[in-house]
Amino acid sequence: MPEAGTEIIRLDGAEKHFGAANIDIIRLDGAEKHFGAVRALAGVDFHVGAGECVGLVGHNGAGKSTLMHMVAGTLMPDSGRIAVRGHVEDNYSVPRAQQLGIRCVFQELSLCPNLSVAENTRINHTTLRGFGWRRKAADLIAAKLDEIFPGHSISASDIASDLSIGRRQMVEVARAFTVTQDPLELVILDEPTSSLDAHTAGQLLGFVRRFVAGGKSCILISHVLGEVLGNADRIVVMRDGNVVASDAAKAFDRDRLVTTMGGAEAREKIAAKIATQKPETGPLRVRARPARQEDGNELVAHAGEIIGLAGLAGHGQTDLLLAIFAAAARAKTGIEVTAPVALVAGDRQSDGIFPQWSIAQNIGIRSLKRLRNGLLISPQREAELATFWQRKIGIRTPDMNNNIFSLSGGNQQKVLFARALGSDAEIVLMDDPMRGVDIGTKLEVYDLLREEAGRGRTFLWYTTETEELDNCHNVYVFKNGRIVANLTRDELTEEKIIQSSFGDAA
Ligand SMILES: Nc1ncnc2c1ncn2[C@@H]1O[C@H](COP(=O)(O)OP(=O)(O)OP(=O)(O)O)[C@@H](O)[C@H]1O
């Protein structure tokens, strides 16, 4: 017989007792989910305790987001049970999760683009109504932004679509932590730092630690393994729809995590430190002066070079890449571009993905000339190109003719890479392109970039992940829309970049 204060949950004949003491905030047992032929979750057990930060890691397509959609109430499992604080939830849903204090910041940002920051906050707090609701919503979000990201320069009256992707991510995270009527117990953060620079990411992770120390709970999903190792209490590793490990964070190191995720080869590559030789200087490919640059500084890139763009997010790196992209089609003062250009967008939702199209069509769109057979696109050539890239960078899908949104976030990002690298562009512009890409694939892509640069391609690469700059021959640091430093590979250190980002010049 169960003890008083406990509940029995029946799971395919098995019985489970949830004790009154030490009750988990949430517990899923045997959660299964299929999308057509894809088994996204193969019967997963998962729980989060009060005052616990659980790190969730796994390769692209491992099932992390699907599992989190269940915790947040946006997806129902095909089978399995969900219990919140020991009570089985038979009709779990988003409103129910909200009522129970469970919130989620998904990888694909969800702010309404035409509404202000305050108005977007109001959507989550229906009790903010009547006279003065706008002021109250503005105060609520401003206070939370100040608490999490001191020194942010976001105003509650800013319209969401006017904000950079990094700032939208900050608003979305802050909004999840605002409280009015409903309680706040557990926040799921799915890749919360993917568009944040190192400084802002540090602010958020510091806040998460304080939140958890105060007895609340958090699930942190990240492909930046150092973030998970350094901030989670326990780490859960997923692989192909299963949980394959769950252990105290202290019990893991980077190598064990990568191996458990299924990246034994990746591990060897990590050990074999990245070596990027400075190439012989080839012909000029790009010469570009940022619009706000008043001194003589400009970005110069030659054939075969991988050039990094660094500094705090939103300081003009994306603007310069977009200006170079535009200049390839139409002459622009201060910018010289000598070869065809492709862009890998970081903000795939608004800039990169064609939502109605298949995965294969999304890859082929930049290579139409090559795919043409007479006047029409040859489906066979399109399929060949798609299959080549599916193998090359491991796009996880049973069918490349499926819609692009059937892919996990990281796999969508791989499609954008395939589109640019599969094209005839000699210059590839990359706007923080590794958003949500897993560690194994990242290492594959780094190799690919070096290989392609060796063949004479030029890469201009803005990244918010400092480690990635190790792949570059030299790095331009941006501040307030201007280039403030040009560091060679030998000079490149995190301190030097931060010093240049915050100082007047370097
Ligand atoms: N709406 C959908 N339709 C079809 N398949 C889907 C859908 N959502 C997810 N899948 C599939 O389910 C599997 C798990 O995807 P999920 O998004 O949970 O992975 P993930 O671990 O979050 O990956 P990532 O690190 O890339 O975000 C993938 O194979 C994906 O293609």
Domain boundaries, the chain: 7-263, 284-502
DSSP state for residue 370 in the 8-state scheme: H
> Is the distance from the beta carbon of residue 38 to the nearest atom of ligand 1 less than 6 Å?
yes
Q: Can you tell me the ipTM of this complex? A: 0.97
Half-sphere exposure of 231 (CA within 13 A, CB side): 28
Q: How far apart are CA 156 and CA 128, in angstroms?
A: 15
Angle between helices 254-261 and 264-271 (to 10 degrees): 150
**Domains 7-263 and 284-502 in one fold:** yes
pLDDT tens, residue order, the chain (506 aa): 333 333 333 333 333 334 334 579 999 999 999 998 889 999 999 999 999 999 999 988 899 999 999 999 999 999 999 999 999 999 899 999 999 999 999 877 788 999 999 999 998 887 777 778 888 999 999 999 999 999 998 999 999 999 988 899 999 999 999 988 889 999 999 989 988 888 899 999 999 999 999 999 999 999 888 999 999 999 999 998 999 999 999 999 988 888 888 854 444 444 344 455 666 678 999 999 998 888 888 999 999 999 999 988 778 899 999 999 998 888 778 899 999 999 988 776 666 788 889 999 999 888 777 777 777 777 888 888 899 989 888 888 889 999 998 998 888 888 988 898 888 899 999 998 887 788 888 888 888 888 889 889 999 999 988 788 888 999 999 988 899 989 887 787 777 777 777 665 43
* CA pseudo-torsion sign 140, 145, 151, 157: negative
> Is the distance from the beta carbon of residue 61 to the nearest atom of ligand 1 less than 6 Å?
yes
Give the angle subtended at the CA of 436 by the CAs of 430 and 438, to the nearest 5°: 100
> Is the distance from the beta carbon of residue 262 to the nearest atom of ligand 1 less than 6 Å?
no
CATH class of 284-502: alpha beta
Q: Which of 39, 41, 60, 66 to mutate to test the pocket of ligand 1 (most atoms within 8 A of CB)?
A: 66
Atom of ligand 1 nearest to the CA of 58: 21
Q: Which of 33, 34, 35 to mutate to test the pocket of ligand 1 (most atoms within 8 A of CB)?
A: 35
Minimal-distance CA residue to ligand 1 atom 29: 61
Q: How far apart are CA 170 and CA 158, in angstroms?
A: 13
Q: How far apart are CA 21 and CA 18, in angstroms?
A: 9
Structure tokens, 242:
């299963």
> Is the distance from the beta carbon of residue 501 to the nearest atom of ligand 1 less than 6 Å?
no
Distance 363 CA to ligand 1 centre (A): 19
Sequence-distant (6+) residues with CB within 8 A of 243 are 44, 45, 46, 236, 237
CATH class of 7-263: alpha beta
> Is the distance from the beta carbon of residue 352 to the nearest atom of ligand 1 less than 6 Å?
no
Sequence-distant (6+) residues with CB within 8 A of 224 are 193, 465
Contact, 472 vs 461, CB < 8 A? yes
Pick the closest to residue 465 from 437, 506, 484 (CA basis). 437
| 3-state secondary structure labels for all residues of 371-397 | HEECCEECHHHHHHHHHHHHHHHCCCC
CA dihedral 337, 339, 340, 345 (to 10 degrees): -50
